[in-house]
Amino acid sequence: MTVPAAAVPSLADLDALRRTEFPLASRHAFLNHASDSPMPVRTAALMAERVAVLQDPPREIGQREGYATAARRRLGAMLNMPPQQVAFLPNAADAAGVVANGLDWLPGDEILVVEQEFSSFVYPWKNLERYGVVTRVVPKRDGRTDPALIAEAMTPRTRLLAISDVEYQDGFRNDLAALGAICRERDILFVIDASQSLGSVHCDAAAWQADVVLAVGYKWLMGMHGIGVLAVSEPAMARIRPSAPGRLSVSGAVETSDYALDWQPDARRYQTGAPNWLGILALAESAGLVEDLGAAACQSHSRALSDLLITGLQARGLSIVSDLDPARRSHIVAFTTGSRAGDEALAARLAERDVILSLRGLGLRASVHFWNNGDDISRLLQAIG
């Protein structure tokens, strides 16, 4: 759906943006984007339109591919990767599975993950144990992931490092540039889960020297469940073979009798059969909203709101669990009353007052996106008392 220029909302008129694209803002102070983001109105409307088209298949011809092209372009720009290196998979675990199952492994090969990594980004590596591959967990130092400890854990048998850009419990942002340099020096495949960063903070796969970046679509990208992103660098494509090929993985005609495995020249080789076209459309349209507003402006606004939240929480005697180093911060703010019982009681009180956030292992987790405003922060702080 092409939105007329005059109808494109602006962060300069945040009230209009909230009213036109995020009507739940009139009911809730929604600070839970690290779990599920609300879908913008424009995206939901386009999806409804495309669902109706499913009743008239001739109207569909060629249009869904156009949305996929737009999604690749916009997501590639968010990642600083060429759009042709972007593919679509159902979720982060499937995307990680493409990597895990597409490499040649030997017994004794090692994969490194960090302590408290999200489980869906660990299971695909653990599943290689049947081939004798060892997944090792690198501990944190004083509750934080430390590149020095990761480097110390690497051995001549280390083949792959899997790590999140932003950690889900407290929003800690890892030093991916430093880790990428270590991986390049030692010829270790560098795989990044950007589910808690892509669409929220600035991402740069080139600066990270990333081989693979993956993400789900239903968090900061404001898409839906059942669609995710897999971005693979050109050098990494030479190492990761397609492990579940289908008719869209190859460059030949759909109707063929030779069944040649002539892989697509880009990341589409990792897609199998017909993809989730509606999910891809959702990514394209929601990413288009960020493009219209300006990614840098969205990120700056979210950081300012996070600052406001942190100041208010500290003034009320709550402990900030998130790292306050600007280089290690994201738009997730984790905080605690100091006890699990206190955190549970506070989470219940906030929910009663329509302040939506999450209770996680380290405390309460608020996650701020570009369409939030100062009123959302005030409602949270006032509910705390």
pLDDT in tens, 13-25: 899 999 999 999 9
Give the mean model confidence (pLDDT) for residues 179-193.
98
The model's confidence at residue 253, banded by pLDDT at 50, 70 and 90, is low
- 3 state DSSP class of 255: coil
First to last CA, the chain: 44
What's the pLDDT score for residue 8? Answer: 45
Q: In the predicted model, what is the mean pLDDT of residues 92-119?
A: 97
SS3 124: helix
- Alpha-carbon distance of 185 to 199, in angstroms, equals 29
Summarised one tens digit per residue, pLDDT across range 202-230 is 999 999 999 999 999 999 999 999 999 99
Q: Which pLDDT score is estimated for 284?
A: 97
Q: What is the pLDDT of residue 257?
A: 77
Q: Mean per-residue pLDDT for 323-347?
A: 97
pLDDT of residue 20: 94
Give CA–CA dist 79/81, Å, rounded: 5
Relative to beta strand 358-360, strand 363-367 is antiparallel
Task: State the pLDDT at residue 10.
Answer: 64
Fold match between domain 11-40+294-384 and domain 59-291: no
| Res 301 pLDDT > 90 | yes
Distance CA 293, CA 5 (A): 12
What residues form DSSP beta bridges with 30?
A: 356
Tell me: domain 11-40+294-384, CATH 3.90.1150.10, correct?
yes
Per-residue tokens: 152: 């110390």
According to the model, what pLDDT value does residue 59 have? 77
| Percentage of residues of the chain with pLDDT beyond 70 | 97
Mean pLDDT of 357-371: 96
Which of 3.30.565.10, 3.40.640.10, 3.40.50.1100, 1.10.443.10 is the CATH number of 59-291? 3.40.640.10
Mean of all residue pLDDT scores within the chain:
94
Closest alpha carbon to 34 in 136, 145, 172: 172
Per-residue confidence (pLDDT) for residue 3, from 0 to 100: 31
pLDDT at 4 over 70: no
Q: What percent of the chain has pLDDT over 90?
A: 86
* Domain definitions of the chain by residue range: 11-40+294-384, 59-291
Per-residue pLDDT, 273: 81
Segment 371-385 mean pLDDT: 95
- pTM (predicted TM-score): 0.94
